[in-house]
């Protein structure tokens, strides 16, 4: 689960900074499908807390659960959240 949250954080930071291509592949975890499923939700609902760490992003996604996409919600469920 920690790797998944790290993946969300890295994906969000790199997507917003345009530095995604500079990140080594091994630093990103979670499947590409999981990253894709939650990227928009993280950007839309959790952008203000992206720099506050993995658990804060997870808490933000959970707080916004009624609004997040079905795909991202399923990723959370698949990871025990």
76 φ/ψ angles, rounded to the nearest 5 degrees: -60, -45
For residue 53, what pLDDT is reported? 82
Report field, pTM of the whole predicted structure over 0.75 = no
What are the distances in angstroms from CA 59 to CA 15, 19, 37, 69, 81? Answer: 20, 25, 17, 16, 10
Mean pLDDT score across all residues of the chain = 77
Q: 81 pLDDT exceeds 70?
A: yes
For residue 9, what pLDDT is reported? 58
Q: 16 pLDDT exceeds 70?
A: no
For residue 35, what pLDDT is reported? 84
> CA–CA separation, 25 vs 12, rounded Å?
15
Tell me which of 28 and 64 has the higher pLDDT: 64
């Amino acid at each position: 689960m920690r790797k998944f949250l790290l993946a969300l954080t890295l994906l969000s930071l790199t997507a917003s900074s345009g530095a995604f291509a500079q990140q080594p592949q091994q630093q990103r975890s979670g499947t590409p499908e999981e990253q894709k499923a939650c990227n928009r939700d993280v950007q839309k609902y959790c952008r203000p807390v992206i720099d506050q760490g993995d658990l804060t992003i997870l808490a933000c996604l959970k707080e916004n659960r009624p609004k997040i996409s079905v795909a991202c919600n399923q990723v959370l469920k698949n990871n025990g959240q």
